[in-house]
Amino acid sequence: MKLTIKTTNLKLTPEIKKAIEEKVATLDKFISHIKTPVEAFVEVALETRHHKKGKIYYAEANIQVPGQIIRAEAEEEDIYQAINRIKDELHRLLKEYKKIKFAKREVAGRALKRKSR
């Protein structure tokens, strides 16, 4: 999977980059059945909303798979917690995507089998 990382109001440290790469790499098992190249876009930012106290970190991820874009976002007080939340959300969404794709293939196979009888 090709990974693109963007930061806003925040310096991309090697630790943050490594954390993002490790978390996104765990999602590869859900897209291994896809033959076309898959791209992941991750943005991490330091929010500057004046009505919230302290530092609020924002993480967003978009994964382009055939037929749709899978998207997750999170706001947390710790950047690593935000990255973990988007990983968990993407994990759930990719699992659902894979389940739907395999179900469609099974339905098409059953229809073809019935037709050939």
- Burial of 80 from C-beta contacts in 10 A (0-12 / 13-18 / 19+): middle
Question: pLDDT digits over 73-101, tens only?
Answer: 999 989 999 999 999 999 999 989 888 87
CATH no. for residue 34? Answer: 3.30.160.100
Q: Does residue 65 carry a pLDDT above 90?
A: no
Rounded mean pLDDT of 19-28?
A: 92
Name the domain count of the chain: 1
Containing structural domain, residue 75: 2-116
Run of H or E residues at 103:
helix 79-116
pLDDT of residue 6: 95
pLDDT of residue 55: 83
Question: pLDDT digits over 33-62, tens only?
Answer: 788 888 999 999 998 766 667 788 999 999
pLDDT of residue 49: 66
